[in-house]
Amino acid sequence: TSSREWGKFPTQKSATINLVGGRFYYIEAINKEGIGGDNLAVSWSGPDFGQIMLGAPSVTQLFYNHGGPVLDDRTVTVFNRDETVTTLEAKDWSDPGTRVTYAITGGNADDAFLIDALTGVITRNPAFPLLPVGTRVLTVTATDNGIPALSDTAAITVQVQKAGLKREVWTGIGGNLVSDLTGSPNFPQAPEVTGYVQNFQAPQNYADNYGQRLSGHLVPPTTGTYTFWIAGDDECELSLSSDANPANKKRIASQTGSVNSQQWDAQTNQKSVAIALEAGQYYYIEALQKDGVGGDHLAVAWQGPSISQAVIPASALEYPEQYRPGLKREFFNSTSTTKWANNPGTGQMEWSTAAANFTEGFAATGALNGNTADTGTATWGASTGWARNNGVATKTAAGDAHALLPFAPQPGYVYTVSLEMDPTNSPGSSDWFGLGFTSGVASNTALYTQTFLFPNIGQSWLLVRANGNSGGTMTAFSSALLNPVNSSATLNAVGSYDTLSIVLDTRNPAWVSTCFLNGNLQATHNHPGALPIQSVGFTAYGNAVGNVRNFRVTSTGTGTPGTLFDAKAKPLTEENFSERLTGYIVPPATGDYTFWIASDDDGQLLLSTDDTPANLAPVASVTGYVAEEAWDISATQKSAVKQLVAGRRYYLQVNHRDGINGDHVTLAWQGPTFA
């Protein structure tokens, strides 16, 4: 319209509105100008005046408070690790300029929640490492600054979920292979997004060209065997550690390409073998997924004692930084062949090796028998088909060839047998290499002329086929040819070795054996009781030829191996044992540090000059015993001052020997920023 042209359009004029004298009404005019001239004006008429411009004194820019603020009820869902819960905003519709302050006036007796009085931001009280899981209804009051002050109250329902796993996301990465994620220069140190998931399932249809990691600790509710499945879009893999330490993780399931959401059986490798787990123990678990374009999803399921196949729930998961492993703990009963003992030659307490710790280097040349270049006390029995060859044992001709050592595992230990293998031909499906235990006596020379030695008397053993025929690459047996578990892992090319290993756990009446190929779990067998094992070794059948090297049998003792979360080992219900604690210390600041050890009985602390165990040196010790955390009974308990650099890793080891009547071992330290 032209300036003050009131009658051009019927819509310019309002209907008659009944107003009360002296009352304030909020009024607003909105105008959008394009090009050319512009104007905006408002006029009115009333009971005692005709049409005039609306202006002073009937309109004012001063703000008045003639109504209370309005605060709406709200429901929010957060994780127990979240710092910010929600932001509230109260409106004063009679006067938008009124200042409002906020207070939690109910439902917060424990002070778990705080609110910023001026901004309305509700946060977790820093005194609470985690918010209490569950539903909390907070009463929040918003009050304005009018005279008199007016207020409104709202119910803020906070649903707190447990953060089961840490979720890390790396964006802007092309491709749909897990290797595209792990090969990114930002992986694993610099994720673009860090958050949480409640159950073992990531948000669906999140983005394109990204990768993610879900990680944490699995805590089984019941001791027994568990099976795991992974399903994702695109490629994904699942790894599980033998304890709480991520460094010990092994891949147990994987998937190529994509499958539908929670489609657990589309590919064979999506399913793990059965794995023996202990109730209440912490096992590091990790899933990696790489998405290209299109839809995306990731989930992990399990099945175990009294548990049907289902996505792993938050109740069985713990956030990874909630339980960060500190030191590895290895325990050895006094009857173990591996223990901490006094070395008369040096006068020092040292770790010794004996029959259950055997390393074969296959040095020199000639027949594989005797003790040439091995470490440990054992005598080989072997077929003439195996020969030492300057670092390897070689089979070059057709025929069955066996090599055995005497070995009788005792209850209460964890034994590992391992061998590196390189088949140099592509044998038929019945021609293969084998590793494991047998019920035969190694000194029985008749064993070495047998055909199918392991299939007849094997006790927890595995065979490997170079060409992958007849059941896949590997088959693991519980004994003889019973309970075969097939897998189709890929072997390295000729000239590159693959590592086979079997872990035999005899700590419980029902023994458990676990088989690995190149560190990846292949099979687990839960035996009904003890196995009648009398020897351990390897074999090659029929036309299978090739090389093997680095045969090892080791014992890691009994008791309570596992992980400590600080440098204090809880007492054990044992007598006459040795234990070893190993790990790294990372100083928070550069400067001088002093260390102390207290133990019952003998204890010794060794510290490396760097992260290499080879550079360990004793720094403090206890002879006899001292009371728990009694640091100054003997001068040897205290180390000399050590200059350490902030953020650098230093390897440490604690040796502890207990006799009778109680046990303990603890470390303390003092540094530039703490006493």
Query: Do residues 491 and 622 both lie within one domain?
Result: no
State how far the Cα of 156 lies from the Cα of 22, in Å rounded to an integer. Answer: 38
- φ, ψ for residue 270, nearest 5 deg: -65, -25
Contact 383, 401 (CB under 8 A): yes
- Tell me the CATH number at 496: 2.60.120.200
Tens-place pLDDT, residues 152-195: 999 999 999 999 999 999 999 999 999 999 999 999 888 999 99
What is the pLDDT, as a whole number, of residue 211? Answer: 97
Q: Which of 167-176, 343-352, 372-381, 611-620 has the lowest mean pLDDT?
A: 343-352
Q: How confident is the model at residue 328 (pLDDT cuts 50, 70, 90)?
A: confident
Name the pairing type of β-strands 535-540 and 307-311: unpaired
Of the candidates 162, 105, 100, the one whose C-alpha atom is nearest the C-alpha of residue 130 is 162
Domain assignment of residue 3, yes or no: no
Long-range contacts of 100-106, Cβ-Cβ distance < 8 Å, separation of 24 or more? 100/69, 100/142, 100/143, 100/144, 100/145, 101/142, 101/143, 101/145, 102/140, 102/141, 102/142, 102/143, 103/140, 103/141, 103/143, 104/138, 104/139, 104/140, 105/139, 105/140, 105/141, 105/153, 106/138, 106/139
In whole angstroms, how far apart are CA 665 and each of 75, 570, 627? 50, 8, 10
* Residue 560 confidence (pLDDT) above 50: no
Q: What share of the chain is helix, strand, coil (3-state, %, to 5)?
A: 5, 45, 50
- Tell me the CATH number at 664: 2.60.120.1560
Percent of all residues in the chain with a pLDDT value above 90, rounded to a whole number: 51
Tens-place pLDDT, residues 463-517: 888 665 555 678 899 999 999 998 877 788 888 888 899 988 887 788 899 998 8
What is the pLDDT, as a whole number, of residue 354? Answer: 35
Domain assignment of residue 27, yes or no: no
Query: Do residues 277 and 382 both lie within one domain?
Result: no
Name the pairing type of β-strands 151-161 and 74-79: parallel
- φ, ψ for residue 547, nearest 5 deg: -125, 150
- Listed in order, strand segments (DSSP E) in 80-192 are 84-87, 100-106, 113-115, 121-124, 134-144, 151-161, 165-171
Domain assignment of residue 489, yes or no: yes
DSSP 572-616: -S-SSEEEEEEEEE--SSSEEEEEEEEEES-EEEEEESSS-GGGE
Rank 33-37, 105-109, 323-327, 473-477 by mean pLDDT and report only the highest: 105-109
Domain total of the chain: 3
Written as one letter, the residue type at 71 is L
Query: Do residues 544 and 574 both lie within one domain?
Result: no
* Residue 254 confidence (pLDDT) above 60: yes
Query: Do residues 504 and 447 both lie within one domain?
Result: yes
Give the global pTM: 0.56
**Domain boundary residue among 511, 534, 555?**
555
State how far the Cα of 172 lies from the Cα of 291, in Å rounded to an integer. Answer: 10
Of the candidates 605, 597, 617, the one whose C-alpha atom is nearest the C-alpha of residue 653 is 605
Q: How confident is the model at residue 573 (pLDDT cuts 50, 70, 90)?
A: low
Domain assignment of residue 613, yes or no: yes
Q: What is the dihedral of CA 309, 310, 314, 315, to 10 degrees?
A: -40
Query: Do residues 295 and 213 both lie within one domain?
Result: yes
- φ, ψ for residue 637, nearest 5 deg: -70, -20
Tens-place pLDDT, residues 516-527: 888 778 888 989
Query: Do residues 467 and 488 both lie within one domain?
Result: yes
Query: Do residues 528 and 603 both lie within one domain?
Result: no
The rounded mean pLDDT for the chain is: 86
Written as one letter, the residue type at 23 is R
Higher pLDDT pick, 640 / 391: 640
Query: Do residues 297 and 229 both lie within one domain?
Result: yes
Domain assignment of residue 30, yes or no: no
- φ, ψ for residue 137, nearest 5 deg: -105, 110
State how far the Cα of 203 lies from the Cα of 207, in Å rounded to an integer. Answer: 10
Helix ranges, 434-566 (H): 453-457
**Domain boundary residue among 322, 342, 377?**
322
Query: Do residues 303 and 183 both lie within one domain?
Result: yes
Higher pLDDT pick, 426 / 8: 8
Domain assignment of residue 135, yes or no: no
What is the pLDDT, as a whole number, of residue 645? Answer: 92
* Residue 313 confidence (pLDDT) above 50: yes
* Residue 47 confidence (pLDDT) above 80: yes
- Kindly state the DSSP code that residue 389 receives in the 8-state scheme: E
Tens-place pLDDT, residues 645-655: 988 889 999 98
What is the pLDDT, as a whole number, of residue 374? Answer: 66
Give the number of other Cβ atoms within 10 Å of residue 488's Cβ. Answer: 12
Tens-place pLDDT, residues 620-632: 999 989 998 999 9
State how far the Cα of 266 lies from the Cα of 453, in Å rounded to an integer. Answer: 37
* Residue 461 confidence (pLDDT) above 50: yes
State how far the Cα of 251 lies from the Cα of 290, in Å rounded to an integer. Answer: 16
> What tokens appear for 133 in the block?
């899981």
Domain assignment of residue 351, yes or no: no
In whole angstroms, how far apart are CA 286 and each of 252, 258, 528? 10, 19, 31
State how far the Cα of 516 lies from the Cα of 498, in Å rounded to an integer. Answer: 10
Higher pLDDT pick, 332 / 298: 298
Query: Do residues 512 and 437 both lie within one domain?
Result: yes
When pLDDT is averaged across residues 270-274 and rounded to a whole number, the result is 90
- Kindly state the DSSP code that residue 31 receives in the 8-state scheme: -
Domain, as residue range, for 615 = 566-670
State how far the Cα of 161 lies from the Cα of 195, in Å rounded to an integer. Answer: 13
Domain assignment of residue 129, yes or no: no
Residues in the chain: 675
Query: Do residues 622 and 646 both lie within one domain?
Result: yes
What is the pLDDT, as a whole number, of residue 337? Answer: 39
Q: Which of 30-39, 264-273, 577-586 has the lowest mean pLDDT?
A: 577-586
Q: How confident is the model at residue 21 (pLDDT cuts 50, 70, 90)?
A: confident
**Domain boundary residue among 322, 349, 377?**
322
What is the pLDDT, as a whole number, of residue 319? Answer: 86
Tens-place pLDDT, residues 86-144: 999 987 655 555 789 999 999 999 999 999 999 999 999 999 989 999 999 999 999 98
Give the number of other Cβ atoms within 10 Å of residue 57's Cβ. Answer: 5
The enclosing H or E element of 568 equals strand 568-569
Query: Do residues 185 and 213 both lie within one domain?
Result: yes
When pLDDT is averaged across residues 401-424 and rounded to a whole number, the result is 85
